[in-house]
Amino acid sequence: MKDRDALRSALLAWYDAQARDLAWRVSPADRRAGVRSDPYRVWLSEVMLQQTTVPHATPYFLSFTQRWPTVSDLAAVEDGDLMAAWAGLGYYARARNLLACARAVVHDHGGVFPNTEDALRALPGVGAYTAAAVAAIAFDRAANVVDGNVERVMSRLFAVETPLPDAKPELKALAADLITADRPGDWAQALMDLGATVCKPKGPLCDRCPVSAWCAAHLGGAPETYPRKTKKADRPRRHGVAYVLTRGEEVALVRRPPKGLLGGMLGLPTSDWRAAPYGDAEAVAAAPVAAVWRDLGAVEHVFTHFSLTLRVFAAEGGGDFVWTPREGLGALPSVFLKAARAAERLL
């Protein structure tokens, strides 16, 4: 790219002045003074931030790092405790991978994160993006850290006409061309900040953008039309029934099978989740125990690969369940929390 060095200098100068103050971040000034990012904190934040916003992830990050200040502390946690602490962040496979990775760092690397992208990538649950982010931010490796934000910035800077997802390799190559051995960690974070705070998906703030002079989409007059996209197929919908069985102030929960969606988590008993809606008689027939079941309506939940309509039925009764006080339901995965809350409201 023509003027690549000038573009880089403009973005890094902006980052030095405007970097977001994030709980896991070492400020540009401290980095210049020689303070290094702790790879444990970088890794933990990156795992939490997958599919989760900064404001939502921040209290979890603070609580995790207070309870488990090092990767060795985290590796020693019981699976159930970790799952409970993770509740509300969603995508529970990440929590299982988190533990597997922490334990591998302790057992295979003496409790010290490896410092190359390849070795990081070999850890359980560490994908290409997370390995690149930790390598760049914690170890100042010239790694290409490309997430949706960076793809959007590249598509606009270079007015890439190929629609996503086909454009991904092209956008990655464009991002790679902008990386040098100078401050790769700050560069990765500067791009992340630009995408999050200025080059926003719907309304890019081009008049406040440090790289607008180089931006082909801005100069073309319609930056918000990038990245080009192919029409997305609708998420499939599934249907199920959740059962809120109460015994006094306690609610019946079941432990889900270890593999699969929400594996190993405590949840409300449910029917199978399937393509066809449940009729009233079917919903009662699929209940975990015979009781006088009342229909409390339905809640909606969106998972990565499908949307779920969950009818909620409630009854008083007993049986062989994990009986949990109502006030202990806050640790449930959000889909069950929604159903339990619907019952609380309507009972």
Chain centre to alpha carbon of residue 122:
20
Tokens 């934000």 — which residue? 149
Q: Are 338 and 268 in contact (CB under 8 A)?
A: no
CA 209 – CA 115 distance, rounded (Å): 33
**Residue whose CB is less far from ligand SF4, 37 or 212:** 212
Burial class (CB in 10 A: 0-12, 13-18, 19+), 330: exposed
| Only segment of 29-37, 77-85, 207-215, 273-281 that touches ligand SF4 (CB under 6 A) | 207-215
- By CB under 6 A, tell whether 155 contacts ligand SF4: no
| Only segment of 50-58, 63-71, 214-222, 252-260 that touches ligand SF4 (CB under 6 A) | 214-222
Catalytic annotation present for 78: no
CA 60 – CA 195 distance, rounded (Å): 23
- By CB under 6 A, tell whether 215 contacts ligand SF4: yes
302: part of which helix (H) or strand (E)?
strand 294-302
- Which three-class secondary structure state does DSSP give residue 277? coil
- By CB under 6 A, tell whether 212 contacts ligand SF4: yes
Burial class (CB in 10 A: 0-12, 13-18, 19+), 197: middle
Choice from 153, 244, 252, 310 touching ligand SF4 (CB under 6 A): 153
| Only segment of 102-110, 198-206, 282-290, 330-338 that touches ligand SF4 (CB under 6 A) | 198-206
Among residues 46, 78, 151, 282, the one annotated as catalytic is: 46
To ligand SF4, the closest distance from the beta carbon of 207 in angstroms equals 8
- By CB under 6 A, tell whether 199 contacts ligand SF4: yes
List, by residue number, the catalytic residues: 46
Residues contributing to the site for ligand SF4 (CB under 6 A): 153, 156-157, 198-199, 204-206, 209, 211-212, 215, 217-218, 223
